[in-house]
Amino acid sequence: MFTKNSKSSDTPTPAEPVKTATAQDAIRGASSKPAARAASIICADMKINGSVTSEGALQIDGTVDGDVAATDITIGASGHITGEVKAEVVRVKGRIKGSIRARKVELETGAHVKGDIVHSSLQIQSNAVFEGQVKHADDPLKDTAPKAASAANESKPVASSGPSAYGISTSAS
């Protein structure tokens, strides 16, 4: 019933190695075009206290109490931001209480913005609410605040070591 086949040898033969895909194979098979990155999402049930920064796109459906900076920012209908919003493109469907600095700003139907907007391109749809001032700038992302060091130097009093016009010495101690 169980007999040894005379054709088979007593020495075992090694099994064929199974070829698996490596990282190099994946790289070779991938197209030369980079994949689009998905937006980072702050969900409707999230609340963030503090600044939020992203190097890519950002979708805000929750609440942020702080400044927000990214390449592309979309504030959804349930999104609320209290702070400065800074990006290449800002789309608002929700609420912002604070300034917006962006090359392209779109206030969509239902948006409510209370603050100033500095932009290169501005679009406001019907039924969007905006309270504030608008300023066009060729480069709205450029920091226009004066340097703190020069402002501090301007306000420093200069000490004198000689007598004043009234004969009182005002030397620095």
pLDDT digits (tens, 9 = 90+) for 2-36: 566 555 555 666 566 555 555 455 444 444 444 56
Q: Which amino acid is residue 43, in one-letter code?
A: C
- 110: in domain: yes
In a 13 Å sphere around the CA of 89, the CA atoms on its Cβ side amount to 7
Report pLDDT for 148.
42
134 compared with 164, residue with greater pLDDT: 134
pLDDT higher than 60, residue 63: yes
- 15: in domain: no
First vs last Cα of the chain: how many Å apart?
114
The mean per-residue pLDDT over the stretch 128-141 comes to: 94
Least confident of 37-46, 52-61, 70-79, 95-104: 37-46
- 165: in domain: no
pLDDT higher than 80, residue 93: yes
Contact in structure between 103 and 86 (CB atoms under 8 Å)? no
- 73: in domain: yes
Confidence (pTM): 0.63
Report pLDDT for 30.
47
- The DSSP code for 169 is B
Measure Cα distances from 170 to 153, 155, 157 in Å: 20, 19, 12
- 157: in domain: no
- 45: in domain: yes
Integer-rounded Cα Rg, in Å, for the chain is: 32
Contact in structure between 52 and 68 (CB atoms under 8 Å)? yes
Domain of residue 79 covers 37-142
The mean per-residue pLDDT over the stretch 29-50 comes to: 77
**Distance, CA of 42 to CA of 48 (rounded, Å):** 9
Per-residue tokens: 57: 């796109």
pLDDT higher than 90, residue 70: yes
pLDDT higher than 70, residue 108: yes
* CA neighbor of 70 nearest in space, from 52, 82, 83: 52
Please state the domain count of the chain. 1
Least confident of 5-9, 60-64, 125-129: 5-9
- 5: in domain: no
Report pLDDT for 78.
97
* CA neighbor of 130 nearest in space, from 143, 119, 141, 146: 119
pLDDT higher than 90, residue 168: no
pLDDT higher than 50, residue 152: no
pLDDT higher than 90, residue 117: yes
- 105: in domain: yes
Measure Cα distances from 101 to 4, 8, 58, 66, 115 in Å: 84, 79, 15, 15, 11
